[in-house]
Structure 1
Amino acid sequence: MRSFLGLPVTGALRQQLQLYCAAAPAGLARWEAAEDWHLTLVFLGDPGAARQAALASALASLCARLAPIRQPLTGPIPFPVPGSPVLALEGRPVAPLAVLQTALSSLCRERGMVLDDRAFRPHVTLARQHAGPVPPLAPACLEAGEVVLYHSGDADAAGRRYQRRMSWPLGV
């Protein structure tokens, strides 16, 4: 099972995206389950139960010292490159998000985890497949007050791929 740290899509943005997806033309895309929408911060691979438990207290301390996030997003656009079958919202990382992502990556590396070295591109995946041009979406903003440890696997009967395992509030 793969794990990652991310920011959940909740509140006003989740409602905005649910309305957007519901209003889209039938057959336009295979939308992700709203419960799965998130912005990935750090891929952890399979850290194992012991390493995950050891990481939990350090993450609680780190997250408590960092500010909640307000990340503007635009799109949806094909991601990660034009012509991709994935539709996502994307945005240049605001300073608090960049600080959070860098601090989480450093903490995980200090604890012996081997992380993916791809450049950080904040995005929220909305669909895995789409057919043609998509309608525009009004400006969007992800507001997040917690970091979540997710485990990913095969989609269940409801289409959900991700399970929340733990979470840590930001700026407590």
Structure 2
Amino acid sequence: MRCFIGLPVPAEPGAALGRLPLPARARSVAATDLHLTLAFLGERSGGWARALWPALAGIAAATPAFDLTLPAVDVFPRAGGRVLAALAERDPRLLALHGAVWRVLRDAGVAAETRRFLPHVTLARLPAPTESNPVPGPWTLPVREVMFYQSPPEQDGYRALARWPTGTD
């Protein structure tokens, strides 16, 4: 199965982001699929994934709930990109959560990501490279749970296979 670990976007901020105008021919991401990816895992077996879940549950429980600021919506990862995204601040709490998840993944034999972590929520895919035209926010993403997602190749949409609440505020 194709899978990843992420932070879901709750209904209220998802609806606010969904009201933004999109460029012509943009393919919007369904509100129920909005998320911030912490780690993309690619193709993995269900047994391998389930073996990670106790450690991921522990990380979520040890992470106090927090609010993440999304200061702007713009082309991602830079001008000329083909994704429209709500860009997230590189908040120390988010970076700590990201680092903890990757420590578990490295212990499980997953090769570390070579690109810098650029936290964002994909809102739409664009048909062609697009110039930057930032829409200022801010929007708030409440971080209250961590989820393990499956991205089925035969259908649109992601499926939450496991979810773990963060600790209290």
TM-score of Structure 1 vs Structure 2, range by shorter chain: 0.7 to 0.9
Q: Which amino acid aligns with 2:157?
A: R
Q: 1:18-37 residue pairs with structure 2 within 5 A? A: 18-20=18-20, 24=21, 27=24, 29-37=26-34
CA distance in structure 2 between the aligned counterparts of 1:143 and 1:86, rounded to whole angstroms: 23
Relative to structure 1, is the Cα distance of residues 48 and 144 closer, same or farther in structure 2, using a 3 angstrom cutoff? same
CA distance in structure 2 between the aligned counterparts of 1:84 and 1:78, rounded to whole angstroms: 6
Q: Which whole-Å deviations, capped at 9, do the CAs of 1:61-87 have from their partners, x for residues lacking one? A: 121111123111133211112111210
CA distance in structure 2 between the aligned counterparts of 1:8 and 1:69, rounded to whole angstroms: 13
Structure 1 segments, 4+ long, off by >4 Å, are 130-135
SS in 1 for 2:19: helix
Structure 2 length-normalised TM: 0.86
SS in 2 for 1:112: coil
Is the CA contact 2:87–2:120 (under 8 Å) kept in the aligned structure 1?
yes
102-111 or 72-81, which moves further after superposition? 72-81
Relative to structure 1, is the Cα distance of residues 167 and 152 closer, same or farther in structure 2, using a 3 angstrom cutoff? same
| Aligned length, in residue pairs | 166
Shift of 1:36: 1.0
The match for 1:86 is 83
1:110 paired with 2:110, answer: no
The match for 1:38 is 35
Q: Which whole-Å deviations, capped at 9, do the CAs of 1:10-41 have from their partners, x for residues lacking one? A: 04311211322xxx268362211111110000
CA distance in structure 1 between the aligned counterparts of 2:64 and 2:41, rounded to whole angstroms: 22
The match for 2:17 is 17
Q: Which whole-Å deviations, capped at 9, do the CAs of 1:49-108 have from their partners, x for residues lacking one? A: 222111111111121111123111133211112111210111231111011000000011
CA distance in structure 2 between the aligned counterparts of 1:99 and 1:105, rounded to whole angstroms: 10
The match for 1:141 is 140
Shift of 1:155: 6.8
